[in-house]
Amino acid sequence: MKALIALALASTLGLSGAAFASAELVTKHKCQTCHSPDKKMMGPTWKTIAAKHKGQKDAEKVVADAIVKGSKGVYGKVPMPPQPKAKDDAAALAKFILGH
């Protein structure tokens, strides 16, 4: 029983740590300048991005590539400029965004 409690606590801490790390990455790369979880700004909401890619096997790669290389015409007329400085964090950011 103690092992189960310890395992549950460890997984909870691990999940909250991942969410915290992703929030730090969003701040680090200034994603919130154009995006938010659920309020339309210059760019699409993270919920809109997650919904558009729901069920796609390669969704994380597609979103990570769009972060680094930019995109145009995927969510409307406003293009997403490339964010090459986010290359090392793009996979984590994509996973965070697709979790919405």
- In this prediction, residue 22 carries a pLDDT of 85
Contact in structure between 18 and 10 (CB atoms under 8 Å): no
Q: What's at 27, amino acid-wise?
A: T
**What SS3 class is residue 71?**
strand
Contact in structure between 28 and 59 (CB atoms under 8 Å): no
User: Does the pLDDT value for residue 8 go beyond 60?
Assistant: no
Domain ranges of the chain: 2-98
pLDDT digits (tens, 9 = 90+) for 26-42: 999 999 999 999 999 99
Structure tokens at 72: 């145009």
**What SS3 class is residue 80?**
strand
- In this prediction, residue 17 carries a pLDDT of 54
Stronger pLDDT, 6 or 43, i.e. the higher one: 43
Could you confirm whether domain 2-98 is CATH 3.40.50.620?
no
SS (H, E, C) 27-63: HHCCHHHCCCCCCCCCCCCHHHHHHHHCCCCCHHHHH
